[in-house]
Amino acid sequence: MTTLSTIPVPLPELTAPSVWPASAVTARGGDVSVGGVPLAELAERYGTPVYVLDEAEVRARAAAWRRALPDADVVYAAKAFLCRAMVDWMEQEGVGLDVCSAGELELAASRGFPADRIVLHGNAKSPRDLRTALRLGVGRIVIDSECEIARLAAHVPGPEAQQVMVRVLPGIAAGGHHKISTGAEGQKFGLSIAGGDAEDAVARILGQPRLELVGLHMHLGSQIASAEPYARGVRRVVAFMARIRDRYGVTLPELDAGGGFAVAQLPGEPAPSPAAYGRRINDALVRACAEFDLPLPRLTVEPGRSIVATAGVALYRVLAVKRTGGRVFAAVDGGMSDNPRPALYGARYTVRMVGRPSAAPMRATTVVGRHCEAGDVLAESVELPEDLRPGDVLAVPASGAYQVSMASGYNLTGRPPVVAVAGGRSRLLVRRETFEDHRGRDVGL
């Protein structure tokens, strides 16, 4: 018999845009279910910290990008989070992969992902990265510095030329933090349009018979909560494409607008939909091409965070509650080893207690990690019940991107597992890292 305590009701935090997966519901008993599975149950079964990934949410967000830009190539930015299941989901949803290393390439290859739908970029590709890309036959390699040109050309086995793009700097500052703003002048990524470096690279590539220049690539940054910087960037890149046509007689057929599309990490934060981004980017591209009398290039976008972030929920168990200096601290069994983003970028999250009801008043509480760093803070001054105690489970939504993928072995605590939920069932995607894993790597006897 269904009781009032088991009737699922929408989370109050499910505002638009939401920080929770669409499947998230709560009952009056105090728990939250994602994908039909109670979070407290997952914490008990898999231990904590644990990362929960809603498969349906991942697929729905990938499909939303495909609908937003049906005539474009959508490639998932694998650096946000990659595992074998993610490779499979992206392939099944018709989405390509944007990778940055031989490791990501090999993982994709292990699942039979079509190499021609893979884009490799990075500001410092190792010889192994390039050899792996050429061996597997990736579709595009994005050149990020002039010294890569001859190095890459020397290793192309032939007889066909390797298709490449040039990452250009359009001179636009955008992003949620200066450490993740990558489209402005004077930083490590790309080649400057204004300074002439991009044109020099284009001329050198056009002189390499083993390389085929097919387009230009830009990436403005991360957590960009407006489509306007993309529109400005597209116009500047198209203007540069027109200059290449006029000076070298080459009309480039592709333009990669990059990624960095924002998601809400706190309820109510601005996060345009894929459709909103898509409309503005496509409109800017059409207008710019008309202005410079260019045919429309094939457009590529690289959403990563906007596909996987809101699909993920991190679960921690409270180890200690401390009231000192007029503040309340809740220390949990994870921290900057599984989520370095607050320490690196000042990223902010909302936190919810799950697994038991509480009638206690809410109190501003700072959730801190277990590591010996004053900066090991997961969430500053979030509202949690005043009767919070050791053993309680805390859920942190919007945790699917750049957490597990950036996790470290600090203090040998072991990186957390990743669990997928769908249709009321759970399955382990990535197991917990153990001491045996660490000991196996330590060969200095």
Does 345 show up as a binding residue in the annotation?
yes
Which pLDDT does position 444 carry in this prediction?
87
Domain boundary among 267, 289, 309: 309
Does 305 show up as a binding residue in the annotation?
yes
In a domain, residue 108? The reply is yes
- Which amino acid is located at 134 in the chain? L
Identify whether residues 219 and 95 lie together within a single domain.
yes
Which pLDDT does position 222 carry in this prediction?
85
Domain holding 30, by residue range, is 4-54+312-440
- Which amino acid is located at 178 in the chain? H
Identify whether residues 417 and 385 lie together within a single domain.
yes
CA distance linking residue 251 with residue 206, whole number of Å? 12
Does 185 show up as a binding residue in the annotation?
no
Residue that is written with structure tokens 């930015």 in the block: 77
Identify whether residues 89 and 184 lie together within a single domain.
yes
Say how many C-beta atoms besides its own lie within 10 A of residue 425's C-beta.
Answer: 10
**Into how many domains does the chain fold?**
2
Identify whether residues 427 and 350 lie together within a single domain.
yes
Determine the 3-state secondary structure of 355 from DSSP.
Answer: coil
Does 249 show up as a binding residue in the annotation?
no
Pairing type for strands 32-34 and 37-38 reads antiparallel
Domain boundary among 309, 328, 350: 309
Marked catalytic residue, from 83, 100, 289, 372: 372
Check if 83 is active-site.
Answer: no
CATH code of the domain in which 234 resides: 3.20.20.10
Predicted model pTM: 0.93
Encode the chain (445 residues) as per-residue pLDDT tens digits: 333 344 565 565 554 568 999 999 987 678 999 999 999 999 999 999 999 999 999 999 999 999 999 999 999 999 999 999 999 999 999 999 999 999 999 999 999 999 999 999 998 999 999 999 999 999 999 999 999 999 999 999 878 999 999 999 988 865 554 544 454 556 777 899 989 999 999 999 999 999 999 999 999 888 899 999 999 999 999 999 999 999 999 999 999 999 999 999 998 888 899 999 999 999 999 999 999 999 999 999 999 999 999 999 999 999 999 999 899 999 999 999 999 999 988 899 999 999 999 999 999 999 999 999 999 999 999 999 999 999 999 999 999 999 999 999 999 999 999 999 999 999 999 999 999 999 999 998 7
Which pLDDT does position 176 carry in this prediction?
52
Identify whether residues 86 and 115 lie together within a single domain.
yes
Identify whether residues 227 and 97 lie together within a single domain.
yes
CATH code of the domain in which 38 resides: 2.40.37.10
Identify whether residues 360 and 377 lie together within a single domain.
yes
Identify whether residues 115 and 205 lie together within a single domain.
yes
Identify whether residues 68 and 90 lie together within a single domain.
yes
Domain boundary among 255, 277, 309: 309
Does 260 show up as a binding residue in the annotation?
yes
Dump the DSSP string for 158-218.
Answer: SSSPEEEEEEEE-----SSSGGGB-SSSSSSSSEESTTSHHHHHHHHHHT-TTEEEEEEE-
Which pLDDT does position 184 carry in this prediction?
53
Which pLDDT does position 174 carry in this prediction?
59
Identify whether residues 300 and 265 lie together within a single domain.
yes
In a domain, residue 445? The reply is no
Identify whether residues 362 and 244 lie together within a single domain.
no
Does 432 show up as a binding residue in the annotation?
no
Identify whether residues 85 and 228 lie together within a single domain.
yes
